[in-house]
Amino acid sequence: MNLPFAESFKIKVVEPIKRSSRTERLEWIKKANYNLFNLKSEQVFIDLLTDSGTGAMSHFQWSEMMLGDESYAGATSYYKMKNAIKNILGYDYFLPTHQGRAAENVLFSVMVKEGNIVPGNSHFDTTKGHIEFRKAKALDCTIDEAFDTSSEHPFKGNIDLAKLEAVLKNNPHEKVPFVIVTVTCNSSGGQPVSIKNMREVNALAKKYNKPVVYDAARFAENAYFIKIREKGYQDKSIKEIVKEMFHYADAMTMSSKKDAIVNMGGFIAMNDEALFKQATVFNIMFEGYITYGGMSGRDMNALAQGLDEGTEFSTLETRIEQVAYLGKRLTDFGIPIQMPYGGHAIFVDAKRFLPNLPKEHYVAQTLAIELFIESGVRGVEIGTLLADRDPDTRENRYPELEFLRLAIPRRVYTNNHMDVVAVALKNVWDRREKITSGYKILYEASIMRHFTVELEKI
């Protein structure tokens, strides 16, 4: 008999979590204005809101925390991070930032101007936010297969080269500052980009003399999928694949709260010294001095260690197998989800789950609320609330797909927790016919409304 799969870690520290009653949850979610971000974490039994900054650090990372050098300038911690970025990703220059969106803010302050168009694969919300905040446009050039949840395309994060070339060809050169590739593509379901696509995007961008920027939050998960799914990469190590991936990008932004397995942190990295110098000005203004930029020394140490661990095959296998475990339990119940299973999360297809609910009722949000009421499991809406309004018309832009995302923190929950999530969702699935009305908005912010939106039951 083959030995069954098991996690590549054992647990040294535990944090108690509490179950609750349906009555309590009904009251809590109402008080939270039906916005799951407003819940207190202690009201949540299993928290799948995000895998961002919610991972468990290893004992190696915790040891590194004790070795942090908190010098304002030239700290050893800065050099540890610099070496890790050079050795693992291959970039000569980098700037630490407090998280991923800060990296976007700094880099886009240099690169994005009013009226620009930034083509890419389903831009992440903060990325799109930082582009639109500068009165520029984020243009989605993802392949069409990404929008069919039942398609088993192995690389649904891929950029459609014809769509990209149309943008590059039909716009004046100065209008398109760079091409952005999100690896893995969070918004389309944690779906990877193939190395072949990365190579081709780079070649196309070079043909039009454009830099390529990676939004690299989950680059290691992307490398894992390349190893598992792409011909010719089975025998390469994750670190070898990672090196090749970044060979096709001129610069990158990173939310280290994802694949570097730290609770806070980010960075920008690039090959071009001139770009580094320009970005440095904004980094000092918004984040901090060059050698700490919004991070403490101990956090830079943990990040450097996390980059190394996060690009180990066993770490990624444990993680992605757990995501697939939850995915398989849900598909066995007949629940419609984005296929194939993504890297960091399972994306439940809310429109197919609740076909009787009008889109004006916020379908994925309604499903997220129902799951919380059922079980105390917190997921998150990746749908109309997140897609927000058209910057020009201010009308809702209803996305093609409405997802309830169940993001799994790294090294935090066991598969018993996944069983609870699966059965809870199955219970909602069994009463889906009875869910015929959703929610309406009482309050929304002018940008990135999903974080603070207040809702009322229709």
Ligand X SMILES: *Cc1c(COP(=O)(O)O)cnc(C)c1O
The reply on whether position 255 binds ligand X by CB under 6 A is yes
- Please report, for residues 195, 240, 241, 286, 315, the alpha-carbon distance to residue 233 in angstroms, rounded to integers and kept in the order given: 9, 9, 8, 40, 18
- The answer to whether residue 319 forms part of the interface with ligand X (CB under 6 A) is no
The nearest distance, CB 255 to ligand X, in angstroms, is 3
> Residue 345 or residue 422: which is nearer to ligand X going by CB?
345
Q: Which of 69, 125, 140, 299 is catalytic?
A: 125
Nearer to ligand X, 190 or 336 (CB): 190
Instruction: Tell me the three state secondary structure of residue 34.
Output: coil
Cβ 198 to ligand X, closest distance in Å?
Answer: 15
Q: Fill in the DSSP letter of residue 190.
A: S
- Residue 110 beta carbon to ligand X: minimum distance, rounded to whole angstroms: 17
**β-strand partners of 396:** 389
Q: Up-side HSE of residue 240: CA atoms within 13 Å toward CB?
A: 7
**By Cβ distance, which residue is nearest to ligand X?**
100
Report DSSP state, residue 142. Answer: B
Residue 87's CB is within 10 A of a number of other CB atoms, namely 13
Do residues 77 and 68 touch, judged by C-beta distance below 8 A?
A: yes
Strand 46-47 relative to strand 377-378, pairing: parallel
Q: How far is the CB of 125 from ligand X (least distance, A)?
A: 8
97 contributes a contact to ligand X by CB under 6 A: no
* Whether residue 72 lies in the annotated active site: yes
Return the range that interacts with ligand X (CB under 6 A); candidates 99-107, 313-321, 331-339, 345-353. 99-107
- H or E element at residue 140: strand 137-140
For residue 130, indicate whether it is catalytic: no
Stretch that binds ligand X, among 30-38, 63-71, 96-104, 355-363 (CB under 6 A): 96-104
Q: Read out DSSP for 320-377?
A: HHHHHHHHHHHHHTT--B-SS--SSEEEEEHHHHSTTS-GGG-HHHHHHHHHHHHHSE
Residue among 257 and 298 whose Cβ is closer to ligand X: 257
The CA-based dihedral angle spanning residues 415, 421, 427, 429, taken in that order and rounded to the nearest 10 degrees: -110
Out of 123, 130, 361, 450, the active site residue is 450
Q: Is 124 a catalytic residue?
A: yes
Footprint of ligand X on residues 343-402 (CB under 6 A)? none
Contact, 274 vs 250, CB < 8 A? no
d(CA 197, CA 202): 8
Active site residue 250: no
Nearer to ligand X, 82 or 98 (CB): 98
Strand pairing category for 454-457 and 380-382:
unpaired
Q: Mask 54-83, x = binds ligand X (CB under 6 A)?
A: ------------------------------
- Interface with ligand X by CB under 6 A: which range of 56-64, 98-106, 372-380, 399-407? 98-106
- Closer residue to ligand X in complex, CB, 100/288: 100
Instruction: Report how far residue 134's alpha carbon sits from residue 136's, in angstroms, rounded to the nearest whole number.
Output: 5
Residue 97 Cβ vs ligand X, minimum distance, rounded to whole Å: 9
Cβ 168 vs Cβ 204: under 8 Å: yes
DSSP class of residue 409 equals P
Q: Which of 9, 60, 72, 451 is catalytic?
A: 72
Q: Which parts of 102-161 interact with ligand X (CB under 6 A)?
A: 124, 126-127
Asked if 287 interacts with ligand X (CB under 6 A), we say no
Active site residue 225: no
Q: Which of 84, 102, 216, 217 is catalytic?
A: 217
94 assigned to active site: no
Q: Would you call 398 a catalytic residue per the annotation?
A: no
Closest to ligand X by CB, 221 vs 250, is 221
283 contributes a contact to ligand X by CB under 6 A: no
Binding residue for ligand X, selected from 43, 186, 280, 296, defined by CB under 6 A: 186
Nearer to ligand X, 105 or 375 (CB): 105
For tokens 């803010």, name the residue: 105
Both structure tokens of 267 = 């960075």
Sign of CA dihedral 360, 146, 326, 59: negative
Instruction: Kindly state the number of chain residues that form the binding site for ligand X, as judged by CB under 6 A.
Output: 15
From the number of C-beta atoms within 10 Å of its C-beta (0-12, 13-18, 19+), residue 346 rates as: buried
Binding site for ligand X (CB under 6 A): 52, 99-101, 124, 126-127, 182, 186, 215, 217, 255, 257-258, 266
Residues annotated as catalytic are: 72, 124-125, 215, 217, 258, 450
